[in-house]
């Protein structure tokens, strides 16, 4: 339904997701001088014009002009730069958006923000990067959240963890804070956005789309998370051990475990210690051998194993 001047009367659900992702990133909503209604604007370097064209398609029904291009002189570098941008009409619809995203003209993170794959894709294209610090198939995600408060960054980290079921870390950057994700978290993040990024942001996407990145094929084992975050996480080897207990109806000896799980007798004690400490297995005296014991998986261990199987392909 449209109003008398031919504009949609409301934003679609997709446009709302787009606006949220853009405002997490580079977009702004502002009221010009002597204007009652705000405009929505995105400006970026002309080298990313294909990405801007993709963004423009979401909002073109609310724009009276096409994308603009210009150049400007930066006195700090003594160079000319080229930039491109678009902006909407002054829209009454944007008053609610501005009130939600700004307090005293400062951008905030709304408490009711819901992260979606589209929102994540735009946020990443604007303010995200992926590096491979040590190996080409071990990723690290960084999201530039320095413009937001620590409480807002904590909210974003919690929202990501709820959506992706992986741990995200907050790092101090001088007096600001940014978000990071290890390989496990980065791969979960990429699984949500990969389908949205096609052609217009190859300078970022080529990092995980390279064969050496092992994102699509020959996927590497999960990385071992930090100990303080590991109670609800398992390495692939830990999953294999618990899976063996799960399918053998318990009462397994160390000898049986070593023979069937391809683990050395020197390595197994550290796995056993961790499983016992966080209650994933029980240990009982072996009735057939004095001084020996047998192991069984607990209900907590079963639940965590099933949970991890949903995230990791495990050969039975």
Per-residue pLDDT reduced to its tens digit, 117-126: 999 999 999 9
Query: pTM for the whole thing?
Result: 0.76
Q: % helix / strand / coil in the chain, to the nearest 5?
A: 40, 20, 40
- Residue 1 within any structural domain of the chain: no
Domain that holds residue 193: 117-213
> Domain ends where: 213, 235, 260?
213
Residue 195's pLDDT is what? 92
Same domain (yes/no): 103, 21? yes
> Domain ends where: 107, 129, 160?
107
Number of domains present in the structure of the chain: 3
Residue 64 pLDDT greater than 50, yes or no: yes
Same domain (yes/no): 232, 206? no
Beta bridge mates, 142: 129, 180
Residue 142 pLDDT greater than 60, yes or no: yes
Question: What is the rounded distance in angstroms from the CA atom of residue 111 to the CA atom of residue 117?
Answer: 18
In Å, how far from its chain's centre is CA 134? 20
Residue 313's pLDDT is what? 63
- Residue 3 within any structural domain of the chain: no
Same domain (yes/no): 181, 155? yes
pLDDT in tens, 174-185: 889 999 999 999
Mean pLDDT over each residue of the chain, to the nearest integer: 90
Same domain (yes/no): 67, 153? no
In this structure, of 87-96, 141-150, 214-223, the range with the lowest mean pLDDT score is: 214-223
Residue 91's pLDDT is what? 94
Question: Per residue in 30-60, is it b (16+ CB within 10 Å) or e — as a string?
Answer: ebeeeeeebbbbbebeeebbebbebbbebbe
Same domain (yes/no): 80, 123? no
> Domain ends where: 154, 181, 213?
213
pLDDT in tens, 32-61: 777 789 999 999 999 999 999 999 999 999
- Residue 136 within any structural domain of the chain: yes
Q: Where are the alpha helices (DSSP H) in 5-48?
A: 13-24
What is the share, in percent, of the chain residues with pLDDT greater than 70? 95
CATH number for position 191? 3.10.28.10
Same domain (yes/no): 259, 298? yes
pLDDT in tens, 247-299: 886 788 888 888 888 888 888 888 888 899 889 999 988 888 877 888 999 99
Same domain (yes/no): 121, 209? yes
Same domain (yes/no): 92, 134? no
Local confidence band at 226 (pLDDT 50, 70, 90 cut-offs): low
Question: What is the rounded distance in angstroms from the CA atom of residue 139 to the CA atom of residue 136?
Answer: 7
pLDDT in tens, 177-208: 999 999 999 999 999 999 999 888 999 999 99
Residue 93's pLDDT is what? 94
């Amino acid at each position: 339904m449209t109003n008398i001047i031919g504009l949609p009367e409301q934003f679609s659900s997709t446009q709302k997701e787009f606006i949220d992702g853009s405002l997490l990133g580079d977009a702004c909503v502002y009221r010009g001088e002597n204007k009652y209604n705000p405009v929505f604007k995105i400006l970026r370097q002309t080298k990313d014009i294909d990405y801007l064209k993709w963004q423009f398609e979401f909002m073109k029904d609310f724009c009276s002009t096409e994308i603009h291009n210009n150049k400007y002189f930066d006195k700090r570098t003594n160079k000319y730069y080229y930039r491109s941008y678009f902006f909407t009409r002054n829209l009454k619809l944007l008053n609610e958006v501005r009130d939600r995203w700004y307090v005293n003209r400062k951008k905030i993170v709304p408490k009711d923000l819901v992260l979606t794959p589209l929102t994540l894709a735009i946020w990443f294209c604007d303010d995200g990067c992926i590096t491979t610090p040590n190996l080409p198939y071990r990723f690290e995600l960084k999201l530039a959240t320095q413009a937001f408060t620590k409480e807002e960054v904590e909210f974003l980290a919690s929202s990501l963890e709820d959506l992706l079921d992986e741990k995200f870390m907050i790092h101090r950057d001088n007096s600001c804070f940014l978000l990071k994700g290890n390989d496990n978290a980065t791969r979960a993040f990429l699984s949500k956005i990969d389908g949205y990024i096609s052609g217009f942001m190859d300078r970022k996407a080529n990092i995980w789309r390279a064969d050496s990145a092992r994102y699509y094929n020959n996927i590497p084992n999960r990385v071992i998370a930090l100990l303080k975050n590991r109670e609800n996480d398992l390495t692939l080897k830990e999953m294999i051990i618990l899976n063996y207990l799960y399918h053998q109806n318990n009462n397994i000896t160390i000898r049986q475990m070593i023979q069937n799980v391809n683990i050395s007798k020197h390595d197994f004690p550290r796995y056993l210690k961790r499983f016992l400490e966080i209650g994933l297995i029980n240990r009982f005296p072996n009735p057939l051998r004095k001084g020996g014991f047998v192991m069984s998986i607990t209900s907590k261990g079963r639940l965590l194993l099933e949970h991890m199987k949903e995230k990791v392909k495990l050969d039975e």
